[in-house]
Amino acid sequence: MLEVNGLNARYGRAHILNGVALSVGENEVVALLGRNGAGKSTTMKSVMGLVRQTEGSIRYEGQEIRGKASHTICRAGIGYVPEERRIFGELTVEENLEVGRREARPGAPEWTLDHLFKLFPNLEERRRNLGKQLSGGEQQMLTIARTLMGNPKLVLLDEPSEGIAPVIVEQMAKVIEELKAEGLSVLLSEQNLHFARLVSDRAYIIEKGEMRWNGTFAELDAQPAVSQSYLAV
């Protein structure tokens, strides 16, 4: 579904990603693990067309999408949930969802407001509140719901468990399971190994902009040195 190869990314003169390669299969949940500053967010932004200077290949459903405008990439079926959430604070919850709304897409699950409110009950109560009035956890729910309104096939989830209460993290895990059950593919970036293990099928480990390791969690457990050197703080 998504094939990234030899991806380089730069901000100005800073060379951030160096030959990153990864793939996400149909209906698979893949974790991208790494410490703070490893390059997880930059990888996701590059896929989404939000980094200007990139080289290499990013193929989605067989098509090269590197260098395309981000709205084109979104319309092709990739949904992006940014780490900073980037809720429209001056818009109501409903309006935030409206911004994300797109036509249904053949081969992807179709999300309606009702369905989303079932998945995120808090949002329904707060549908007329402004984005900036929501709590951190609610904002995290809203940013996911907003992306789902675009009926994507592949979702890029950037550190969804960051900075939210443990109860919400549990809810988040359920949401990801639900996405998988609906048939979506997910690329999930995480520092929280525990959470990633709960929801993902396999994992990549990135450090200093380079891929260091990939495999299943069982394989990761068999090599404690790997997580020791790339993930432990």
Ligand X SMILES: Nc1ncnc2c1ncn2[C@@H]1O[C@H](COP(=O)(O)OP(=O)(O)O)[C@@H](O)[C@H]1O
CB of 213 to ligand X, least distance (A): 15
Number of C-beta neighbours around residue 5 at 10 A? 14
Could you say which of ligand X, Mg ion, other proteins, none residue 42 binds, taking C-beta under 5 to 8 angstroms by partner kind? ligand X
CA gap 226, 212 in Å, rounded: 9
CB of 108 to ligand X, least distance (A): 26
Q: What does DSSP assign to residue 115? A: H
CB of 84 to Mg ion, least distance (A): 9
Residue type, 94: E
The verdict on 13 binding other proteins (CB under 8 A) reads yes
The verdict on 98 binding other proteins (CB under 8 A) reads yes
Task: Write out the binding residues for other proteins, residues 107-166 only, by CB under 8 A.
Answer: 146-147, 150
CA gap 5, 139 in Å, rounded: 33
Residue with smaller CB distance to other proteins, 34 or 82: 82
The verdict on 160 binding ligand X (CB under 6 A) reads no
Residue type, 228: Q
CA 81 to chain centre: 5
CB of 75 to other proteins, least distance (A): 5
Could you say which of ligand X, Mg ion, other proteins, none residue 160 binds, taking C-beta under 5 to 8 angstroms by partner kind? none
Sheet holding 154-158, edge to edge: 78-81, 154-158, 185-190, 29-33, 202-207, 210-215
Longest CA–CA separation in the chain, Å:
50
Q: How many residues does the chain have?
A: 233
CB of 137 to other proteins, least distance (A): 20
- Report the b/e string of 15-41 with b at 16+ CB within 10 A: ebbbebebebeebbbbbbbbbeebbbb
Task: Write out the binding residues for ligand X, residues 21-60 only, by CB under 6 A.
Answer: 34, 36-42
Total binding residues for other proteins by CB under 8 A?
28
The verdict on 85 binding ligand X (CB under 6 A) reads no
Residue type, 99: V
Interface with ligand X (CB under 6 A): 11, 14, 16, 34, 36-42
Interface with other proteins (CB under 8 A): 11-13, 48-50, 52, 69-71, 74-75, 80, 82, 86, 88-91, 95-96, 98-100, 102, 146-147, 150
Interface with Mg ion (CB under 5 A): 40-41, 83
